[in-house]
Amino acid sequence: MNRILFAVVVLISCVAVVDTARASAQLALDKGCFACHGEPPRKNAPTFDQLAKDFARYQGQAEQELKLADKLREGHIFGGIQAHENLSAENARALVHWIVQGAR
């Protein structure tokens, strides 16, 4: 009985992870992120695959993800990226987490 319960919990957890990833991918689509970070990327923008490779080192580091999300939303001295600056803190965190987890 315990094995069945454990299997059900694992299955539910996997479904929740897939749903979260789908929601984050949909968020990236809704916010127009693929216009610059898709295939092919716009100008010098990295693709989501490139971003995922670069940020994979932050997996399991929730505090670092928060810092990255805050940095994403910051203005920059030479002019920021309006789409990044317009993200809510919650959306920025969701997108950064999705990227850190592989952007899949």
pLDDT tens for 20-57 read: 668 878 999 999 999 999 999 998 899 999 999 999 99
Q: Which strand (E) or helix (H) includes residue 57?
A: none
In this prediction, residue 2 carries a pLDDT of 62
Instruction: Give yes or no for residue 14 having a pLDDT over 60.
Output: no
Taking CA atoms, 74 is separated from 10, 16, 78, 86, 88, in Å, by 38, 30, 12, 9, 11
DSSP 3-state of 35: helix
Query: Tokens representing 17?
Result: 């992870």
DSSP state at residue 32: T
